[in-house]
Amino acid sequence: MLHLQDITKVYRRRQEEVVAFKATSLDIGLGEYVAVVGPSGSGKTTLLSMLGGMLSPDTGKVWFGGESLYDLPINERTRRRREQIGFVFQTFNLVPYLTALENVQVPLFLHGVGKSEQRDRAVSLLEQVGLGNRIEHKPSELSTGQQQRVALARTLANNPRLILADEPTGNLDPDSREAVLSMFDNFVREGRTIVMVTHDPGAAARSSRRLCLNDGMLVTPHEIHTTKAA
Amino acid sequence: MNLKTLVWRELAERPSAMLTSTLTILLGVTALVAIRHVTVFSEREVGQQLQSLGANVLVLPKDATLQDYYSADLTERTLPESHVASILLENLPGVERLSPKLCVSAKVANRDVTLTGILPQSEFQAKSAWQSVSLFSNKHEGCKKAACGPKTYDAAPETLASERTIDQLKGNEAVIGADVAEFSGLKPGQSVELLGEKLQVLAVLPRTGTVDDSRVFAHLHTVQRLTNVGEVVNAIEVMGCCEDAAGGLVPKLAELLPDAKVVTISQVVSTQVGINRLMSQMSLFVLGILVIVGGASVASTVSSNVRERRREVGTLMALGATPSLVTRMFLLKAWTLGIVGAVGGSVLGLIVAMVLGSQWAGVTVQPLPDLIALSIGAALVITTLAALWPARSAAKLDPCCCFQEF
């Protein structure tokens, strides 16, 4: 599903160059649950941004579903992201002045779904994540666990094939963390691909494959494949 | 959920963030609408005054004032009637009509009235000496009037009220003002005794609200004969073919008639014209302020909104918002505050103009839809232009900022 070919991404600051990410080849297959681990500043978020079509590499190509993502015009790349990729953020990134329902409706509106269908699907998704009785609540009126569940419902709104998660359990209490990771297990069972950046060894252990990054390089010996029963 | 909801929810949640810009636009539009309304109605008032005053240029005795003329108090001061012939023979460009007048006191039904001798236009043609020149045919340079030249001189006598000249008036006829007709009960066809001579009432003039309502008009030569003053007049009203002609006539008439005073009617309202010009310039100044301050305020507000909303914009882009949608989102915010400011400012400006217009300029102000639409349009153009750059910079934001914490 995803293939990275001869990728380098370099950040330049005050005549100083830092290799943020470098990989000659990396494949992520359909339905894989990949955890990306590594110390802060090792290039995890850079990798996630490049996989999401939001950060073009300096060299190489990112193939997504057989298309070179960064050879597409920006609007086409945006469309791929809108239709096929879902994001989960550490701090949830909910729009603070919108209700839970409206937050879930945002990707549907961006996709051009009609108003009544937007509402029906958003209500259904919020019920799926156990927030059917909180649809009119704003993020500030929800606990962090509930906010992450709203964010997950928003991620699922356009039924993405690929979910890119950046520290999805980083701000959660143990119960909420477990709830989110269970949902991720379900997503994989449904055939979706997940690439999750995490510092949480427990969360990484739930994945089917782990990629270890250090100074922007994939540390091959630490790449661990598990045949985890879903 | 749609773009409008997204924008409206934010504005409703934090209206104070946009308040300064809205207030700036509102105050600018208020001032613009108020000043322009008062100016427009003041200019109309001046135009009506000019129209009601009639003649474009007046030739008066040297020591007379315009106030004397308009209060019909000119009995002591006279000009030779020959000045009329002098003006005609000179065939000055732009002159369309002449109306020499002589005012004396008389009584009708035991009440004081002003008896005004007037020379009918038909007599200008009758005088053989004047026929030797082509009367009233000399157009001034750049005249925009389609026809300029001799007329048929057969208009109804009632047109004296509006035209200030009469085409036909015999020596034994009189035309009376509305007030005189009212208190004397006189009607057309009846006789009225003036200075010991009976004259037939030719017409009653419609009410004008001016001193003419209490005048009786008779033939100039009849009034000269009845008062034994000789061939004199108190004033010669000179009608130019258009406003442009009047200005050019004054120096020529002054040169031609050095013993007379030549004034334009516009001098009567010169103060008001000056105030109008000042207010007109002031409205341009306000428009400039609105463009600079309002535009800067909108640009600053939208820029800071973009900075505050970076992660939100990044998240929307990650979720699939296109750059053009992000641009539209920030432009819609700017338009919303622009519309609120412009509509509010128009209403407030109109109220200010209606309340204070009568006090500032003595005019009654009514809404001018075109002006209001123009003000709202101007405010929207300014807000659009001011918000364009920050809105486009928002569209160029790196969507990766959705992963950053601020």
ipTM score = 0.89
- Alpha-carbon gap, residue B277 to B266, rounded angstroms: 14
- A169 or B165, higher pLDDT: A169
Determine the pLDDT at residue A193: 94
CB contact under 8 A, B316 and A82: no
Look at residue A227 in the predicted model and tell me its pLDDT: 45
B106 three-state secondary structure: strand
**pLDDT(A222) > 60:** no
CB pairs under 8 A between A and B: 81
Q: What is the pLDDT of residue B131?
A: 53
pLDDT tens by residue, A23-76? 888 999 999 999 999 998 888 889 999 999 989 999 999 999 889 999 999 889
**B232 Cα distance to chain centroid:** 35
Identify the band that residue A225 occupies on the pLDDT scale cut at 50, 70 and 90: low
Phi and psi torsions of B162, nearest 5°:
-100, -35
Cβ B158 vs Cβ B116: under 8 Å: no
C-alpha–C-alpha distance, residues B66 and B57, integer Å: 11
What pLDDT score does B245 carry?
58
The verdict on A105 touching B (C-beta cutoff 8 Å) is: yes
pLDDT at A65: 87
Residue A120: the pLDDT is 95
In this predicted structure, the answer to whether residue B205 has a pLDDT above a threshold of 70 is yes
What's the pLDDT score for residue B311? 87
Tallying the residues shown for chain A, one arrives at 230
- Residue A81 Cα to chain centre, angstroms: 11
Selection from B18, B31, B70, B91 nearest residue B249 by Cα = B91
Structure tokens at B236: 């010669």
What Å distances lie between residue A217 and A9, A108, A166, B18, CA to CA? 11, 36, 18, 46
Provide mean pLDDT across the span B60-78.
72
Q: List residues of B whose CB lies inside 8 A of any A CB.
A: 1-3, 5-6, 9-10, 12-14, 311-312, 315-323, 325, 398-400, 402-403, 405
The SS3 assignment for A69 reads helix
Q: Residue A17: is it exposed, middle or buried by C-beta count within 10 angstroms (0-12/13-18/19+)?
A: exposed
Tell me what the mean pLDDT of segment B299-314 comes to.
88
pLDDT confidence of residue B143: 58
Judging contacts by C-beta atoms under 8 Å, the chain B residues touching residue A75 are 322
How large is the average pLDDT for residues B185-205? 92
* Structure tokens, B286: 């306000």
Q: Give the tokens for residue B97.
A: 């009509």
Q: Which residues of A touch B5 (CB under 8 A)?
A: 102
Residue (of B404, B402, B100, B61) closest to B262 by Cα position: B61
DSSP 3-state assignment of A150? helix
pLDDT digits (tens, 9 = 90+) for B79-95: 999 998 888 888 787 77
pLDDT at A111: 92
pLDDT of B323 > 80? The answer is yes
Which pair of tokens denotes residue A75? 């609007």
Judge: A74–B405 Cβ closer than 8 Å, yes or no: no
Question: Which candidate from B2, B311, B400 shows the least CB-CB separation from A54?
Answer: B400
The single residue listed with the structure tokens 């507000």 is B301
Judging by beta carbons within 10 Å of its beta carbon (0-12, 13-18, 19+), is residue B319 exposed, middle or buried? Answer: buried
Pick from A80, A148, A49, A213: which is nearest to B402 by CA?
A: A49
| Cβ contacts of A90 on chain B, cutoff 8 Å | 405
Q: Is the dihedral of CA A20, A24, A28, A33 positive or negative?
A: negative
- The pair phi, psi for residue A38, each rounded to 5°, is 150, 165
Q: Which of A175, A91, A99 is nearest to A139 (CA)?
A: A99
B399: chain A residues, CB-CB within 8 Å: 49, 54
The arithmetic mean of pLDDT across residues B262-280, rounded, is 71
User: Of the ranges A108-122, B92-106, B181-195, which one carries the lowest mean pLDDT score?
Assistant: B92-106
Burial class (CB in 10 A: 0-12, 13-18, 19+), A59: exposed
Q: What percent of chain B has pLDDT over 90?
A: 29
- Reported as a single tens digit per residue, the pLDDT across B119-147 is 988 777 666 455 555 556 666 666 555 45
Separation of alpha carbons B68 and B75, rounded Å: 9
Q: Which of A149-163, A172-186, B126-140 has the lowest mean pLDDT?
A: B126-140
| A77 touching chain B per CB within 8 A | no
What contacts B124, CB < 8 A, 6 or more positions away? Answer: B88, B98, B130, B135
Could you give the angle at which helices A115-128 and A144-156 cross, rounded to 10 degrees?
Answer: 130
3-state helix, strand, coil in chain A (%, to 5): 40, 25, 35
Residue of B nearest to A168 (CA): B403
Taking an 8 Å cut-off on Cβ atoms, the answer to whether A93 and B315 are in contact is yes
pLDDT at B239 over 50: yes
B291 Cα distance to chain centroid = 27
**pLDDT at residue B244 is higher than 60:** no
Q: Which of B205, B109, B194, B124 is nearest to B159 (CA)?
A: B205
Comparing A92-101, B50-59, B62-71, B391-400, the range with the smallest average pLDDT is B50-59
Binned at pLDDT 50, 70 and 90, residue A230 comes out as: very low
- Percent helix, strand, coil in chain B, to 5, is 60, 15, 25
Percent of chain A with pLDDT over 70: 95
Task: Give the C-alpha separation, B249 to B237, whole Å.
Answer: 12
**Alpha-carbon gap: A155 to the closest alpha carbon of chain B (Å):** 8
Q: Are A85 and A52 in contact (CB under 8 A)?
A: yes
Q: Is some CB atom of chain B closer than 8 A to the CB atom of A137? A: no
Which residue ranges form the domains of chain A, and what is each CATH number? 2-93+160-225 (3.40.50.300)
C-beta of residue A49 within 8 angstroms of C-beta of residue A77 = no
Mean pLDDT across B10-14: 84
Q: Are strands B197-204 and B191-194 parallel, antiparallel or unpaired?
A: antiparallel
Compute the distance between CA of residue B346 and CA of residue A91 in angstroms, rounded to an integer: 44
> What pLDDT shows up at residue B53?
58
pLDDT of A163 higher than 80: yes
**Cβ contacts (< 8 Å) between A107 and chain B: which residues?**
319-320
Would an 8 Å CB–CB cutoff place A84 in contact with chain B?
no
- Burial class of residue A153, CB neighbours in 10 A (0-12, 13-18, 19+): buried
Q: What does the pLDDT read at residue A12? A: 85
pLDDT of residue B209: 73
pLDDT classification of B240: cutoffs 50, 70, 90: confident
Burial group, residue B377, by CB count within 10 angstroms (0-12, 13-18, 19+): exposed
Q: How far is A191 from chain B (nearest CA, A)?
A: 21
Q: How many residues in chain B?
A: 406
Residue B139 confidence (pLDDT): 62
Mutation choice for A interface testing from B403, B405, B406 by most A CBs within 10 A: B403
Provide mean pLDDT across the span B36-65. 76
CB atoms within 10 A of CB B101: 24
Residues of chain A contacting B14 with CB distance shorter than 8 Å: 97
B201 to B73, B194, B287: CA distances (angstroms): 24, 11, 57
Is B14 in Cβ contact with A78 (below 8 Å)?
Answer: no
**Which of B132 and A13 is assigned the larger pLDDT?**
A13
Alpha-helix residue ranges (DSSP H) falling in B127-263: 128-131, 160-163, 178-184, 220-227, 243-256
